[in-house]
Amino acid sequence: MSFSTTQVKDSNSLPGGDSTSRLVLQMARRDISTLFRTPWIIISRSLAFIVQLFVFAYLISGFVVKFPNYFEYYAVGSVVGTIASISFIIGYDIFEEAEEGLLDYLLTLPISRRQFIIGRALGGAVRAMIYTIPMFVIVALMEKFSNPLSLSFAIFDLFLLAFGVTGLSITMAVSVRSANRFDVTLALLELAVSRASTALYPLAFMPSYVAAFAPYSPVTFAADSMRDVLEGTSLNFLSIAGLLAFVTIFVGVGATFYFRRLEGGVYA
């Protein structure tokens, strides 16, 4: 038996005095709360980051002589790559909810479509930030990044990346209907977005076929902007503009696809 998907009208406020912001935050809080129901994910991701930073990065930096202070370059990039990877998790959640019928129930709640989608994207982004902030703190302490303004801008870069990747993941979750195909598609997309970037490897040392695409990766935008601001160089307005465009496009596209899928009844 499936729940009805007929809902309230898409308005900025609903009867009962609930404001738009409150309803959006309630949806976001639901996604954030799932983080603490699966602590093994936090533990496994944290251990992977620690091994990557204190073992792999330490060892490989000793072999890199053509790039000065490669450990710092890698440390900052590993935080960016981690948050990009974690932000894809929301797509798996949405796909599983659709398969299990939970999405039908969620759509019976007194919340508009717009608030539902924005809340889920926000929840996914904040959840990724909760995962990653401790890792960022470790890197900041190790590299002695102490300027509060620079740290604030770096966190803003991370949030923009997380929000955009969340929108991308939602787009994939509502576009691919086969479970096996979805797993493969999202895994390949995560690999391409994270690895085909300057997060871990300088552009000058990449193979030409990777270097042709890496400058346009959202992970590259975030990594370059973070390094510039943390090193006190300047604000990388081009990278920030690229991140904002990425967020606008994929949150918008994800919302559009989500609307069409919901109204088309493919989850019924």
How wide is the angle at C-alpha 21 spanned by C-alphas 17 and 23, nearest 5°?
65
Q: Is 13 exposed, middle or buried (0-12, 13-18, 19+ CB in 10 A)?
A: middle
Residue type, 205: F
Is residue 197 situated within a structural domain?
Answer: yes
Where b means 16+ CB within 10 Å and e means fewer, 142-181 reads eeebeeeebbebbebbbbbbbbbbbbbbbbbbbbbeeeee
Give the separation between CA 165 and CA 91, rounded to whole angstroms.
10
pLDDT value for 101 = 73
Average pLDDT over residues 6-23: 50
* Strand, helix or coil for residue 206: coil
In a domain, 2, yes or no: no
Which residue segment(s) compose the domain that 236 sits in? Answer: 20-264
Residue 90 lies in a domain: yes
Could you give the CA distance from residue 98 to residue 266 in angstroms, rounded to a whole number?
9
> Is residue 3 in a domain?
no
Token pair, residue 264, equals: 């088309």
Q: How does pLDDT run across 25-68, given as a tens digit for each residue?
A: 777 777 777 766 666 767 777 888 888 888 888 888 888 878 88
Please name the residue ranges forming H helices in the chain: 20-37, 39-51, 58-61, 70-87, 89-100, 102-106, 113-143, 148-175, 179-195, 208-211, 218-230, 237-264
For the stretch 205-259, pLDDT in tens is 899 888 999 999 999 999 999 999 998 877 888 999 999 999 888 777 767 766 6
CA 230 to chain centre: 21
Which has more pLDDT, 257 or 164? Answer: 164
SS3 114: helix
Residue 6 is assigned to a structural domain of this protein = no
| Paired tokens of 255 | 């919302």
Residue 14 lies in a domain: no
**pLDDT band at residue 16 using 50, 70 and 90 as cut-offs:** very low
The answer to whether residue 102 sits within a structural domain is yes
Number of domains in the chain: 1
